[in-house]
Amino acid sequence: MDELSPPQSTGSSPRNFSGKAFAEPVIQNAVMALCVILVMAPVAPLVLQAFSPVPLYAWRGGLTLGNFQNLFTLPEISDLAGNTLLFCAISITFSIVFGVALAIIVARTDIPARKLLTNILLWPIFVSPLVIGFGAILTYGPTGYVTSLFTHATGIANPWNIYSLTGLSLISGLSMAPMTILYCLSSAQQQDPRLEQAARVAGASPFRTMRRITLPMMRPALIFSFAMNIVAALEMFAIPLLLGGPSGIRLLTTFIYDKGFESGRPDYGLVSAASLILLVLVALLVLLQTFLLRSSHRFLSVGPKGGRMDVMGLGAWKWGVFAATLLYALFGIVAIVFGLFLRSFVLVLSPYISPLSVLTLKNYHDIWLDPTYRHAISNTVMLAIGGAFAGVVVTGAIALVAQRSNYRLRRVLDMMVQLPRAVPGLIVSLGVFYAVIFIPGLSLLSGTLWVLGLAYIVRHLPAGYGIIAPALLQVTKDFDRAANVAGARWSTTMRRIVAPILKPALLSCFTLLMILFFKEYAAAIFLYRPGNEVISMAMLNAWVPGYTGVVASLAVIQIALTTLLLVIFTRLFGVRLNG
């Protein structure tokens, strides 16, 4: 009998006593258990190691606070804390100031080419800070292309120093600004135009209107972007490693990396204690963000009578604002990408030598001939596609149980799946590393793509859930009730009715996870082994001996593959990543 046919009226329903009646709780409990394992597997061993007097592989019981005492008595701890705080302050300020200003400019003013500028300004979201860091060195380093051009034109030697704390903070802020733009863009576009029209009728200038009307109504987006910028700054690793390492500047993240990866004899307890502090800081910030946004309904400005949103005329300021925005896009984004692209096709990059005289395909030829680089590219593609598919399955199952079932722990599940938001990628990598050592059976994953896939899924579980869960809430529950009346089980309803309706959201989730997996680097740091190379780790390994041409070529390949995937899924399949 078909599962959707009406139940037979034979006294007591056979569905209540058959084995199938117990299948629903089993499935839901299994989903809950999987979520708990994914979330806690990297965190629990990390916490245990932080309080363990010996490495986990030799642990026989006993706890201690000695690791934290050793951490806080280190001679460099004050410099470490000061550098981290100053780095966060500078990078966050840059990201917020420029991000909010650019979001308002491209969303609300009448400058030319707004759509093109928006696409350029948001582009860095789809590449890792690792690529931006490499590009900044090739472009704005002491021998960078733009630096050399500026020195040649002005005669000013060493006009800037990106290897300083201020320099690496500004480059990090540059990589974080697109996130602020994205968060503030929709908020700026969706305000009730009547408020600004009333301000203009009262004689307010465009800038006064922005300051008194537009910005205050954007407060939820500003709070959210500010909190996420703090999280991003605290967990920033690639740019401080590339730019701070040569000059001896260490932050909390690079300290964890140095002590746990570069050190000949890693101090696992010290590394775990520092990691746990970072984890607690990020978790508190996520909680603070949730607390501050609890009354965001007070800033509701989109209603049924909102009217058409008009752009603000800047008058005489129009071309000046356009020029400033264009300069930011050219020197902050386009120049970095162009520097990577040009370096990948030349033997040496210098303004004193015509690129046409040193054009070559040697860098790409070296990548093709080296099996390590070929494996890194193929592994990245397989991990991105296969891991994203697995991530969609896991995230979709969790969302269905948390949002569309009568499971008694569904609220707990909803909170649990969002906890990895507070776990930085470096901590995920270290936690999975400990889990592989400590949990029996997981050692089989060591050195394989499976362990990277596990870390990536844990790292980006909340991102996938953030796409599927809201889409699921928009699907009426009348389908569920109608299917239940027809005798369908919960699992049948989800599989045959709800899941097909969610196809656009599932495709968007798959695309987002694929892009995130492509650019991920921090979650692979402690799990990298010969054989499971990915592009990000291949770039880091090639940078150490100074193979800048290979690094640039790998970065261009990563950018090209990411762009290709975006085009395929956004143009051919109509996927939208911004809701």
- Give the number of other CB atoms < 10 A from CB of residue 334: 14
Domain ranges of the chain: 361-579
pLDDT tens track for 449-485:
899 999 999 999 988 888 888 888 777 788 778 888 8
Q: How many alpha carbons lie under 13 Å from residue 116 in its C-beta half-sphere?
A: 9
**What confidence tens digit (pLDDT) does each residue in 14-66 have?**
444 444 555 778 888 999 999 998 888 888 888 888 898 888 777 777 888 98
Spatial contact of 303 and 92, defined as CB atoms under 8 Å apart: no
Q: Give φ, ψ of 350 to 5 degrees.
A: -155, 140
Report the pLDDT averaged over residues 394-422: 87
Tell me the range of 252-256, 374-378, 489-493, 573-577 where mean pLDDT is highest: 374-378
Q: Is the dihedral of CA 478, 479, 484, 490 positive or negative?
A: negative
Q: What is the pLDDT of residue 104?
A: 87
Can you tell me which residue has the tokens 């969303």? 107
pLDDT band at 205 (very low <50, low <70, confident <90, very high): low
User: pLDDT tens for residues 272-317?
Assistant: 888 888 888 888 877 776 676 665 444 444 444 444 556 777 778 8
pTM of the model: 0.83
- Which overall architecture, per CATH, does domain 361-579 show? Orthogonal Bundle (1.10)
Establish how many alpha carbons lie within 13 A of residue 382's alpha carbon, considering only the half-sphere containing its beta carbon: 13
Average pLDDT of the chain to the nearest whole number: 83
| 257-274 tens-digit pLDDT | 888 766 667 788 888 888
Q: How far apart are CA 414 and CA 416, in angstroms?
A: 6
User: In which band, very low, low, confident or very high, does the pLDDT at 497 lie, cut at 50, 70 and 90?
Assistant: confident
Tokens 């397989």: give the residue. Answer: 382
Rg (CA), the chain: 26
| Distance between CA atoms of residues 251 and 249, nearest Å | 7
Tell me how many degrees the CA angle 346-349-351 measures, rounded to the nearest 5: 125
CB count within 10 Å of CB 17 equals 10
Confidence of residue 502 (pLDDT cuts 50, 70, 90): confident
Classify 2 in phi/psi space as left (phi over 0), alpha (psi -120 to 50) or beta: beta
Contact 228, 220 (CB under 8 A): no
Q: Which has the minimum average pLDDT: 126-140, 331-345, 404-418? A: 404-418
Check residue 98 and give its pLDDT.
93
Provide the percentage of residues in the chain whose pLDDT is more than 90. Answer: 27
Could you report the per-residue pLDDT of 186-195, keeping only the tens digit for each?
Answer: 777 665 556 6
Q: Which of 126, 122, 144 is nearest to 134 (CA)?
A: 144
Residue 15 and residue 489: Cα distance in Å, rounded?
A: 9
Q: 201, 310 in Cβ contact below 8 A? A: no
pLDDT tier at 10, thresholds 50, 70, 90: very low
pLDDT band at 498 (very low <50, low <70, confident <90, very high): confident
Residue 198 has pLDDT above 90, yes or no: no
At 340 the three-state DSSP class reads helix
Residue 436 predicted with pLDDT over 90: no
- pLDDT at res. 534: 92
Q: Which two tokens stand for residue 48?
A: 């245990």
d(C-alpha 4, C-alpha 492), whole Å = 8
Section 83-109 average pLDDT: 91
pLDDT at 224: 78
Above 80 in pLDDT, residue 544?
Answer: yes
Amino acid at 414: D
Q: What is the C-alpha separation between 219 and 223, in angstroms, rounded? A: 6
For residue 304, the model assigns a pLDDT of 42
- Find where tokens 């394992």 sit: 37
**Is residue 318 scored above 70 in pLDDT?**
yes
Distance CA 81, CA 87 (A): 10
Quick one: DSSP state of residue 569? I
C-alpha span between 183 and 221 (Å, rounded) = 6
